[in-house]
Amino acid sequence: LFSAVELAPRDPILGLNEAFNADTRPTKVNLGVGVYTNEEGKIPLLRAVREAEQARVEAALPRGYLPIEGIAAYDAAVQKLLLGDNSPLIAAGRVVTAQALGGTGALKIGADFLKRLNPAAKVAISDPSWENHRALFESAGFEVVAYPYYDAQSHGVNFEGMLAALGSYDAGTIVVLHACCHNPTGVDLSDAQWKQIVEVVKARNLVPFLDIAYQGFGDGIDADAAAVRLFAAAELNVFVSSSFSKSFSLYGERVGALSIITESKDEAARVLSQLKRVIRTNYSNPPTHGGAIVATVLGTPALRAMWEQELGEMRDRIRAMRNGLVERLKAAGVPRDFSFVNAQRGMFSYSGLSAAQVDRLREEFGIYAVSTGRICVAALNMRNIDAVANAVAQVLK
């Protein structure tokens, strides 16, 4: 059975982790992997999470199955985070939400559901995009194309190219959009650009699939959901995959959600019934622990306030590290202007470093980054930022 099985290529980022772990230099720094670490270089356990978790453990609850679509209070809380507390769509019962296994799981059940609805559709992702987007939609059976997104010259968006590509797609094409904190570039659209994207999506009858994995890491919980809310207000059928991996620092608990905006309460009921079939044949129903914690935190005013503060601290720390890197590179006499790093949002930065420079960072300094030049700014801290800035200055000489 397995004699002809070939070795699959290594995941580029997880492969980087393995090399990092094997590196014995005490000064090594991992800017490759996409997790937020605090000033101590550790993945934080948020206080709000710990409190909700302790109460849950003490309650010693039985471990029954959850409903196929997950915890009702969790799904309701997800909708409010995405669409706002006073969303008329939520009030009208037009939003379907299913708890999912992280943002990845949400994308997967969304992709499988879309394949049943419109098997001939193409999927368009940004160039570049989170590397799993293409693989996920291809494994669901779709042909995946890429629309222009990043412009290396300006460290911004090739907006004309993006708009032209979207304007050329057939009706029904599924367009995957990073709602905020674009991974891997850190470069987001402006509100005015989002409005134009909504218009072309609507005019051409495209299917928007918004991926929001970093809500609260950019400008704030509501500000980061602006694109989702623009699409919602445009009376479109919208898919949204969301994740609490980062915003709750709950990576391994697999807490995400798929939300779908429909035209009516009746349509929502039909859509949910079909989505449940997709879930039932994938993993039957989601796990309890992470979803219960998030639902408790979001539904308990004191814990919610604590979480918002902790999320704000993570956001502010990332900003400070962006600025700190820019300042240090300038102080080190690097002639290249790195101020674009301050304009980027979220955990990542397309630093503009070449693959050869990234190799030198690793080999000479034990600083690990992705060969595309993507660095995780959230892995910088006051202990390593000087060393990173000096090393970058050296490889740019």
- 213 part of the interface to ligand PMP, by CB under 6 A: yes
- Using the contact rule CB under 6 A, the part of the chain among 22-30, 77-85, 99-107, 326-334 near ligand PMP is 99-107
| Dihedral, 101, 102, 104, 108 alpha carbons, nearest 10 | 40
C-beta of residue 104 within 8 angstroms of C-beta of residue 137: no
Decide if 130 is catalytic.
Answer: yes
The least CB distance from residue 103 to ligand PMP, in Å, is 3
CA atoms within 13 A on the CB side of 147: 25
Q: Which of 136, 96, 130 is nearest to 112 (CA)?
A: 136
Strands 143-148 and 367-368: unpaired
Dist. CA 35–CA 264, nearest whole Å: 38
Binding mask 143-182 for ligand PMP (x = CB under 6 A): -----------------------------------x----
C-beta of residue 291 within 8 angstroms of C-beta of residue 99: yes
- 110 part of the interface to ligand PMP, by CB under 6 A: no
According to DSSP, the residues that pair with 99 across neighbouring strands are 257
Dist. CA 29–CA 32, nearest whole Å: 9
Dist. CA 115–CA 305, nearest whole Å: 40
Q: Which two tokens stand for residue 153?
A: 């010259």
Decide if 194 is catalytic.
Answer: no
Q: Which residue is nearest to ligand PMP (CB)?
A: 102
Decide if 276 is catalytic.
Answer: no
Binding residue (CB under 6 A) for ligand PMP from 87, 97, 99, 245: 245
Size, binding site for ligand PMP by CB under 6 A: 12
- 211 part of the interface to ligand PMP, by CB under 6 A: yes
Identified catalytic residue from 75, 188, 211, 224: 211
Q: Which two tokens stand for residue 40?
A: 């101590």
5-64 residues near ligand PMP, rule: CB under 6 A? 34
C-beta of residue 124 within 8 angstroms of C-beta of residue 169: yes
- Using the contact rule CB under 6 A, the part of the chain among 102-110, 150-158, 268-276, 279-287 near ligand PMP is 102-110
Binding residue (CB under 6 A) for ligand PMP from 79, 99, 183, 259: 183
Which of 33/320 has CB closer to ligand PMP?
A: 33
Cβ neighbours, 10 Å, residue 300: 16
What is the amino acid identity at position 371?
Answer: S
Which of 256/373 has CB closer to ligand PMP?
A: 256
- 322 part of the interface to ligand PMP, by CB under 6 A: no
- 104 part of the interface to ligand PMP, by CB under 6 A: yes
- 374 part of the interface to ligand PMP, by CB under 6 A: no
Q: Which two tokens stand for residue 129?
A: 């995009």
- 243 part of the interface to ligand PMP, by CB under 6 A: yes
Which of 260/395 has CB closer to ligand PMP?
A: 260
The least CB distance from residue 49 to ligand PMP, in Å, is 15
The least CB distance from residue 4 to ligand PMP, in Å, is 31
According to DSSP, the residues that pair with 251 across neighbouring strands are none
Q: Which two tokens stand for residue 37?
A: 């670490």
CA atoms within 13 A on the CB side of 324: 20
- Using the contact rule CB under 6 A, the part of the chain among 62-70, 101-109, 262-270, 288-296 near ligand PMP is 101-109
Classify each residue of 58-90 as buried b or exposed e, where b means 16 or more C-beta atoms within 10 Å of its C-beta. Answer: eeeeeeeebebbbbeebbbbbbebbbbeebebb
Binding residue (CB under 6 A) for ligand PMP from 102, 110, 128, 216: 102
Dist. CA 79–CA 228, nearest whole Å: 11
Active-site positions? Answer: 130, 211, 246
> Where does this chain bind ligand PMP (CB under 6 A)?
34, 102-104, 130, 178, 183, 211, 213, 243, 245, 256
